Structure 1
Amino acid sequence: MPLSPMTYPDGHVGWRAHDHATVRAVLADSRFSIRPDLMHNPFVPGSPGDAPPSPPGAFADHDPPGHTRYRAKLTGQFTVRRMRVLAERLEAITASHLDSFEAQGSPADLVEHFAVPVPGLMICELLGVPYERRAEFQQDAMFLTGFSGEETEAMFAAFERLQQFMLEMVAAKRAHPTDDVLGDLVSAEAESSEGALTDDEMATMGMMLLGGGLDTTTNMLSLGTLELMRSPARVDAMLANPDAAVEELLRYISLTPATARTALADVEIEGTLVREGDTVFVELGSANHDPARYADPDVLDLARGAAGHLAFGHGIHQCIGQHLARIELKIAFPGLFTRFPKLRLAVPESELPRRASLVIGGLERLPVAWD
């Protein structure tokens, strides 16, 4: 059936959506809310009201009309010109870090020397954050997205530090305008006569872009590299058609395996009635492995192309940075395997430490070797 009953950690009997068509239907329906304070938590015990309302500016956790207002302010910042400039910078950044990685000598940790610093530099370029200050926010940003549900006080402390850092960035860009997403946002709001964003809103929006841009791409680079190293044929397929290969890796890995939505009214989904207040656990990973959508879905076929995958979500909350993420992966993977065509694991795969995250999968380290 399209929706299956599911008992949540707090005892609530809600639903799970797991096939491709149903997941798309739930994510596209405006009668479902993304707000954490309205939902039964599918990961750890938590009922509606246990989570505080998301702060102003946290666009990914707001429903319309707030979400619409925030999203409209950001969408215009991801221009073709900016993506082209960032692609040129990424090629230089990738080459530089591959030089440094090679200089480490075999074996070396790909996460530490490549998968973390390359996206870190790119998000600094996007937001206009001085790279020398990256260490101040990177650990906190990755902690928030790697949150395992057991460090609530530490999570709020990290959030507050990041918020303060981004407030400083907003003030700096107001004093000295810059040509980057945060700088352009600050300049545009200074000229806005109605509905202008507050400093707190802009800081939180920047912080969300920061956290998403650092952690997701880092983990896709490490997990994608692990999959590509399994056979020379996979490396050849990546180098022959990076566009198709990256889309298939995004589908196959499904870095964010699930999200959740809460019904704001009674909603019928393909014959099943979801009552107002019910939470639906939306399984993106399962949808991306739906045999009704993809033939042999558990096979990594790098020539597939994987059109319509849901790795970036769907609907109004689809990842706003997906174009930059694609650019990063389509440059970084070919760059890595052109430089190191016989890259291989330096330890047994069973020894690779995986992240204990409730939100995004990944590797803590990826020791690799080359000839």
Structure 2
Amino acid sequence: MFDPSDTEFLADPYPAFAELRRQGPVHRHDGLGLAIAVSHPAASAVLRHRSLGRVWRDATPAEQFVSFNLLHRNSLLENEPPAHTRLRRLVSSAFARGHVERLRPRVEAIAGQLVDRFAARIRDEGTADFLAEVAQPLPVEVIAELLGVPAEHRPLLVPWSNHIVKMYEYGLPADKRAAAERASGEFVDYLRELAVERAANPGDDLISDLVRVRDDDNSRLSDDELVATAVLLLMAGHEATVNVLGNGLRALLDHRDQWTRLPANLDSAVEEAIRYDSPLQLFERTATADVEIAGFRLEEGQKIGALLGAAARDPEVFAEPDTFDVTRSPNPHLGFGAGIHFCLGAPLARVEIAAAFRALTTLPDLELAGEPPRRPEFVMRGYRELPVSVA
């Protein structure tokens, strides 16, 4: 069984995943403390089965993680029906007020500006870090626009998000757990103040819509639910999009024949970037009753993870799964989840990634400037930096 901390495995986990798929669709991973579904049908079943849910358990000791636990107890992602049904209805109602289309021109403009700056940095210095210049700032600017975060406060968002998502890794040391709680507390306090200001002075941003949204029963989001929703949108939208862009550009630069096909295949290239090197490798579920997935029995309370990176390379679903093909269609990857927890922000994420790829087509001579270092995490898969030059 693979070691999620092994640097050779992190560099290329897909051969290990292929061997696991050959052995069977579901396995017990003692190191992770849960079962893992490695075939596409099994992983899809994990995400869709209604006896497998998101059952939040507070980080412990609970008194040391007050804000972190508050964010997750009230999160759309960490709740099941009926609480999830109510939260999703309210948040979807706010999202449905045209926010993706409202932001589309702004997303295109931001992507173009960032890539222009990126190109200028390469001209001036010979190389530039794609992550620092484009992939990191694009999603945080877009989500800040979505939420209506003032420009002077936007530099706070990425450090908060980076610290909080570290808690999703396995075997995190105490100092990083403490940093996640500090970031959670600061983020909660900030968003509470922002929500109060938007209640008094509403705008066309999502925070304003979340403050005033009501459902048919006149239910509204509580203050904690509103804060948790905003944080979820930032963390899910920022972290995953950064890694899709970084992993995707690396794949394009490694496959020059696909780079030349990019301008005519932007939409399918977005889906292939998500599939080929999954930015989120594992998503957990907990059995709410005894259940069987692909012949593997789980008792109530036991955990199982959908190993998305393994599912995305399943040869029973994807022809030549280890080939990066920007024309691939259909492409039923599970990168945005499935079932009732399907990513609410998927339409906006697709707009962002396509905008970045479109802007990059103006730089046909890009090439890697050395081997980029991987992040040391398993669940959130990406690079620390991605140095690029011009041929």
Equivalent position of 2:364 in the other structure: 341
1:77-117 CA-partner distances (Å, limit 9, x unpaired): 33383222211111111122222222223311111111111
The answer to whether 1:142 aligns with 2:162 is: yes
Q: 2:108 maps to what in 1?
A: 91
Gaps of 5+ in 2: 1-22, 60-67
The secondary structure found in structure 2 opposite 1:312 is: coil
SS of match in other structure, 1:320: coil
Match of 1:254 in 2: 278
Evaluate the alpha carbon distance shift between residue 269 and residue 367 of structure 1 in structure 2; reply closer, same or farther with a 3 A threshold. closer
Is 1:326 aligned to 2:350, yes or no?
yes
- Taking structure 1 as reference, are residues 5 and 364 closer, same or farther at Cα in structure 2, changes over 3 Å only? closer
Using the TM superposition, give the Cα deviation of residue 3 of structure 1 relative to its aligned residue in structure 2, in angstroms: 4.7
TM-score, normalised with respect to structure 1: 0.88
| Equivalent residue runs for 1:101-120 within 5 Å | 101-104=118-121, 105=124, 106-120=126-140
Q: Provide the residue aligned with 2:63 in structure 1.
A: none
Secondary structure in 1 matching 2:221:
coil
Deviation readout 1:297-344 (Å, 9 max, x if unpaired): 111121113421101111111111111111111111121122x11111
Aligned residues: 353
Aligned to 1:308: 332
Listed as ranges, the matches of 1:1-371 within 5 Å are 3-9=25-31, 14-37=34-57, 55-79=72-96, 81-104=98-121, 105=124, 106-147=126-167, 148=169, 149-150=172-173, 151-189=176-214, 194-338=218-362, 340-347=363-370, 349=371, 352-370=372-390
State the 1:28 CA deviation: 0.9
Question: Following the alignment from structure 2 to structure 1, what is the Cα–Cα distance between the partners of residues 339 and 378?
Answer: 22
Q: In 1, distance between residues paired with 2:144 and 2:191? A: 12
5+ residue gaps, structure 1 = 40-50
* CA-to-aligned-CA distance 1:168-227 (integer Å, 9 cap, x gap): 1111111110112111111225x9874322212101111111111222111111111111
Distance 2:97 2:220 in 1: 25
Aligned-partner residue type, residue 343 of structure 1: L
Give the conservation status (yes or no) of the 8 Å contact 2:282–2:306: yes
What secondary structure does 2:95 align onto? coil
1:132-173 Cα offsets, whole Å, 9 max, x none, are: 211122211122224442221111111111111111111111
CA contact (8 A) 2:44 2:306 kept: no
Structure 1 ranges of 4+ moved more than 6 A: none
Residues 26 and 39 of structure 2 are in contact (CA less than 8 Å); yes or no, is this contact kept in structure 1?
A: no
1:249 maps to a residue whose letter is A
Cα 1:264/1:163, change in 2 over 3 Å: same
TM-score for both structures, normalised by structure 2? 0.84
Q: CA RMSD in A?
A: 2.3
* Counterpart-to-counterpart distance in 1, 2:252 and 2:183: 34
Distance 1:7 1:83 in 2: 39
In the TM superposition, residue 240 of structure 1 has moved relative to its aligned partner by: 1.6
Name the aligned partner's letter for residue 315 of structure 1. G
Contact in 2 for aligned 1:166/1:204 (Cα 8 Å): no
CA distance in 1 between partners of 2:159 and 2:25 (Å): 38
* Cα 1:293/1:265, change in 2 over 3 Å: same
